[in-house]
Homo-oligomer: A and B are copies of this chain.
Amino acid sequence: MSPTGEPLTGERILEATEEVLRRHGPAKATVVDVARALGVSHGSVYRHFRTKAALREAVTKRWLDRTAEALAEIAAGDRDPEARLRAWLRGLFDAKRRKAGDDPELFATYTVLTGESGEAVAAHIAELTAQLARIVREGVAAGVFAATDPETAARAVFHATGRFHDPCHAPEWARPEAAADFAAVVELVVRGLRA
């Protein structure tokens, strides 16, 4: 139990970690800062996350999962596959743009963390391309898309739209031409998938 009487869960530790990262930045944030913010000993934090690296990886995963969960709902929807693909790509661009624009410091922090967390990022990209592959596969089944290998096509769609979700392109997302550029790439990609 922490001094507030609430049980110390992994989720509470991750919330506090995000807040500490926001305040101190990724270079200075320590496990002791997290424990202090929660009013517990750093030993209590280590019982949930065995190393500082594990804690950083877990908070990065949580941040990435928030986007993936919202997109999973779109991918599993029952709209026709082309509309679903367009909504999914728009949802991904909007989520990333919002994260970068609403809280640039936290976004910069997570850009550093994702650079460290190769595994969390690889799992995130695998999850997103699996969602895309589901849409492509259902489009092929419905006869609206053509793709000999939906997994390869999904990966190609993910890469072809990278300008609108890869954090290295974040400085370009606020430019006035970004909306038209996004629309033109989505158009090209959708045409490229059509049967």
Contact pattern, A 92-124, Cβ under 8 Å of B = 1, otherwise 0: 000000000000000000000000000000000
Nearest B-chain residue to A152, judged by Cβ: B184
- Determine if A159 is an interface residue (Cβ-Cβ < 8 Å): yes
How many copies of this chain does one complex carry? 2
Nearest B-chain residue to A162, judged by Cβ: B163
Which residues of B are found within 8 Å of A187, using beta-carbon distances?
156, 192
Known: A160-B189, A188-B160. A155 touches B181 (CB 8 A): yes
Interface of chain A: mostly helix, strand, loop or mixed: helix
Q: What are 19 sample pairs from A and B whose C-beta atoms fall under 8 A apart?
A: A152-B184, A153-B188, A155-B184, A156-B187, A156-B188, A159-B163, A159-B184, A159-B185, A160-B161, A160-B188, A160-B189, A162-B162, A162-B169, A166-B169, A168-B168, A188-B192, A188-B193, A189-B192, A191-B193
